[in-house]
Amino acid sequence: MTHYDYQDTFKKLYDKAVAQFESGNRDKATYFDDDELAAISANGWRVQDFFDYAEDAVEIGEPSYEVAQSIEQVRREYFLHMQNSQPTGNTLDSSTLPGKTESLEGYVWLPRILPKARAKLLGELPDDTMYSCGGDRRFLKTNDIHPSEFLRVVWANLDDDAGVLEFVKKRNPQTDSA
């Protein structure tokens, strides 16, 4: 793995996933060869994320490549520097996520995006859960927070929901973000 050009590697993988999805291939297991899979693993990324970004980019038009790359840059930094390139071996149980209408001090979706963001940082998202899905994007747009910025705030407040809540309040002091 080379560190200097990891963004170029990410771009090639992202473009390949989009091309595969656009061509009608929905079998993510066929998207990448062994060298590409090794690069994905070495950077703390997941094939599922490339598939999810490709699916949403093709079908919805977002997130953009730049947003996807910035999210995965934060994940990569956390994986390399905080996890010493070692996965936790854990996976979030998506059935434990708070409901889509739950709120924290009036901020609908915040209780749901918090564990998803933590799981994204830790590399613990299951294949059926996407960080920066449509609901996440709606919450982040409503509160004027970039998806990678939110990950960084969660990183800085990994075990402190109140710290993340204070950031959200400062960014968008509405009492009801629904």
Three-state SS string over 34-101 comes to HHHHHHHHHCCCCHHHHHHHHHHHHHCCCCCHHHHHHHHHHHHHHHHHHCCCCCCCCCCCHHHCCCCC
For the residues 108-131, what does the mean pLDDT come to?
98
Distance CA 120, CA 14 (A): 18
Task: Count the alpha carbons within 13 Å of 101 in the hemisphere toward its beta carbon.
Answer: 0
Surface-to-core class of residue 42, CB atoms within 10 Å of its CB (0-12 exposed, 13-18 middle, 19+ buried): middle
Four-residue CA torsion sign, 86, 159, 139, 127: positive
β-bridge pairing 107-108 and 103-104: antiparallel
The whole-number pLDDT of residue 75 equals 98
The whole-number pLDDT of residue 2 equals 77
Task: Count the alpha carbons within 13 Å of 17 in the hemisphere toward its beta carbon.
Answer: 26
Q: pLDDT tens digit string along 79-91?
A: 999 999 999 999 9
Read off the pLDDT band of 174 (50, 70, 90).
low
Paired tokens of 167: 């950031």
Residue 172 scores a pLDDT above 90: no
Paired tokens of 124: 């613990």
Do residues 131 and 71 make contact, with C-beta atoms less than 8 angstroms apart? yes
Residue 175 scores a pLDDT above 90: no
Q: Is the pTM of this model over 0.75?
A: yes
Position with higher pLDDT, 177 vs 141: 141
Read off the pLDDT band of 55 (50, 70, 90).
very high
Read off the pLDDT band of 11 (50, 70, 90).
very high
Residue 49 scores a pLDDT above 70: yes
The whole-number pLDDT of residue 68 equals 98
For the residues 62-70, what does the mean pLDDT come to?
97
Residue 178 scores a pLDDT above 60: no
Q: Taking the CB of residue 35, how many other CB atoms lie within 10 A of it?
A: 8
For the residues 12-37, what does the mean pLDDT come to?
98
The whole-number pLDDT of residue 8 equals 96
Read off the pLDDT band of 1 (50, 70, 90).
low
